[in-house]
Structure 1
């Protein structure tokens, strides 16, 4: 393999002159530059990225830790849409900069994260991403101040820069849209109580009811995700049965996510109820594999994962450049309501002011 000394000899210049041509850090005459360039091409010389990195103190590398590749989430563990959507948004943005994104998979084992961070630091990455499988509070080992990190789909108590979904607003916008369509008895089947999103979405549900002057009825709010997936269907069945037997049953079920909505469709049909003619159903996530293939297609709220990935990448790049070094805390991102045929319009409504996407 050719070295800088071989190039210098072929071009009849000093190694220092070759270095100046390669790095562009000092003036070099046109003829000399041409001679060096010709020698590099003739010898097939490849500059050492390690040497450039030592000189510039910039590796061009960015580390990302995720569990999306192995996707070994335990059956009883909550999860949102695939982390790959977040990673995709990050990769699309980083790829435009010429930097290299190095991805390490944690296997969704938190005990592996410190070693992965250490490995990335040893490779002198310019910044780090930590991508969580669902909206949660995390606790990571300390990272040197000169290596910025952006948390994605998660946050910590230290105020580390982060990008998270606006779960409260998402549920609020969905319920507000249902109310605008004439629904007042709106049932909500939540995700597990230990998930950050559950508390936020519950608050958004109550916000929308309060704004419309509709009294909150605790009988219409039930947890639909307790125990293992094997017992979830029975939990949902019991909750749905309880609410349908109320003196004033719901006209629509809001589900904690689109996977849950899929099960609710089956439970309602097993009871002889048609969606949406007898009762409406709405989900959360806009997991298109489910939402667009269900019959009828599912009204749901977008979890803006790809956009969150893009924003996380933009934020880290700003931190690396020093443009927002003092910025801290989370960016909160909301997605639109996708209005499909699983919900019946109970009366004409003007929805021009509502944030939604209509799909017929």
Structure 2
């Protein structure tokens, strides 16, 4: 393997001149630079990254810990995809910044995280991003000497910089749009009550009603999330049995929204002619293939990844602005034909 001394001899220069060309840290004449570069090419010289890191304390490496690889589903199942989209957003930024992203997968075992952090420390990464599988609180221990950390899709109780979806604003935007289309009886089939997303989205649902001056009927909010169909069937039955049933039903996510389509049709209720349906996520494999296509709100996973990457770069550079964590990223409403306006409403 060629060394810096071999390159210097072949180019007819000193090893110090070769070092200057490699590190670009001092002026070198054009002809001399070309002679050194030609010699490196002929000899197949590969610079020592380890040596350069020791000199500059900058490896150009960023560590990312996720379960996106082991959790990536088959056959169009949307579970696991949020992590993958966040990773794609992270790579968008670091690819343009000439940083190398090193990805390590937990394999679904959170207890592996400390050892993965230790491995990244050995590789002298400049920073770390931890990506969670869904919006939740986590415990990511940062020890003295660890590289700076940014959390994506999760947060902790000690103020580690974090990027989250703005579930409250997303749901508020969706319900406000439904109200603008003339809907006044808006059912809501939620995710699990213990989830952060459910609490925040319910607050957004309430915010939109308050903003429009609409009374809130607690019976319109029903928990319906589980792997089996029974909770959804029962919750939908309770909504339809109300003296004034909903004209539109919001669902906790797009996967949940598929079930009311079929359940309503078995009762002879057409979507959206009699009851409209809205989802949450904008998972296109579902939203664009349902008939009619599903109105939903997009969770901005790729943008969350981009913001996490930019935040980490600012921290590394020492230019991070003061911020109140977590930073919440909103997404747009995607209006499709599963929702129709109520006759007589403005703009319908």
Question: Shared fold by TM > 0.5?
Answer: yes
Distance 1:145 1:212 in 2: 51
1:138 match: 138
Structure 2 CA distance for partners of 1:136 and 1:176, relative to 1, 3 Å: same
- How many pairs are equivalent? 344
Unaligned residue ranges in structure 1 (runs of 5+): 353-360
Structure 2 CA distance for partners of 1:280 and 1:31, relative to 1, 3 Å: closer
2:89 match: 89
Q: Deviations over 1:215-261 (max 9, x none)?
A: 111111110114xx1x3x11111111111111111111110000000
Distance 1:25 1:137 in 2: 44
Shift of 1:329: 1.4
Q: Deviations over 1:31-60 (max 9, x none)?
A: 544443332232221211111111111111
3-state SS of 1:101 partner: strand
Contact 2:182 2:346 in 1 (8 A): no
Q: Deviations over 1:308-330 (max 9, x none)?
A: 11111111111111111754512
Choose the corresponding residue for 1:298, options 280, 286, 294.
Answer: 294
Shift of 1:144: 4.0
Structure 2 CA distance for partners of 1:266 and 1:184, relative to 1, 3 Å: same
2:320 match: 324
**Pairing 1:37–2:37 present:** yes
Q: Deviations over 1:124-148 (max 9, x none)?
A: 0011111111111111111446622
Contact 1:154 1:164 in 2 (8 A): yes
1:244 match: 240
1:219 match: 219
Unaligned residue ranges in structure 2 (runs of 5+): none
TM-score, with structure 1 as normaliser: 0.90
Structure 2 CA distance for partners of 1:31 and 1:277, relative to 1, 3 Å: closer
The range that moved more, 339-348 or 189-198, is 339-348
Contact 1:80 1:285 in 2 (8 A): no
Distance 2:311 2:182 in 1: 41
Distance 1:284 1:86 in 2: 17
3-state SS of 1:51 partner: helix
Structure 2 CA distance for partners of 1:72 and 1:99, relative to 1, 3 Å: closer
- After superposition, residues 139-154 of structure 1 pair within 5 angstroms as 139-144=139-144, 147-154=147-154
- After superposition, residues 169-184 of structure 1 pair within 5 angstroms as 169-184=169-184
Contact 1:81 1:287 in 2 (8 A): no
Distance 2:21 2:312 in 1: 31
- After superposition, residues 308-323 of structure 1 pair within 5 angstroms as 308-323=304-319
Structure 2 CA distance for partners of 1:351 and 1:138, relative to 1, 3 Å: farther
- After superposition, residues 79-118 of structure 1 pair within 5 angstroms as 81-118=81-118
**Pairing 1:346–2:342 present:** yes
What's the C-alpha RMSD, in Å, of the aligned pairs?
2.0
2:121 match: 121
3-state SS of 1:82 partner: helix
The range that moved more, 278-287 or 5-14, is 5-14
Structure 2 CA distance for partners of 1:222 and 1:18, relative to 1, 3 Å: same
2:278 match: 282
Contact 1:81 1:285 in 2 (8 A): no
Shift of 1:152: 0.7
Contact 1:181 1:348 in 2 (8 A): no
Shift of 1:154: 1.0
